[in-house]
Amino acid sequence: ICFRELAYKGQIPGVKKASW
- Inform me whether the pLDDT recorded for 8 exceeds 70: no
- Inform me whether the pLDDT recorded for 18 exceeds 60: no
- Inform me whether the pLDDT recorded for 5 exceeds 70: yes
The answer to whether 6 and 18 have CB atoms below 8 angstroms apart is no
Compute CA 17 distance to the chain's CA centroid, rounded to the nearest angstrom: 8
Confidence of residue 4 (pLDDT cuts 50, 70, 90): confident
Between CA 20 and CA 8 the distance in angstroms is 7
Task: Tell which wins on pLDDT, 20 or 9.
Answer: 9
- Inform me whether the pLDDT recorded for 11 exceeds 60: yes
Chain mean pLDDT for the chain:
63
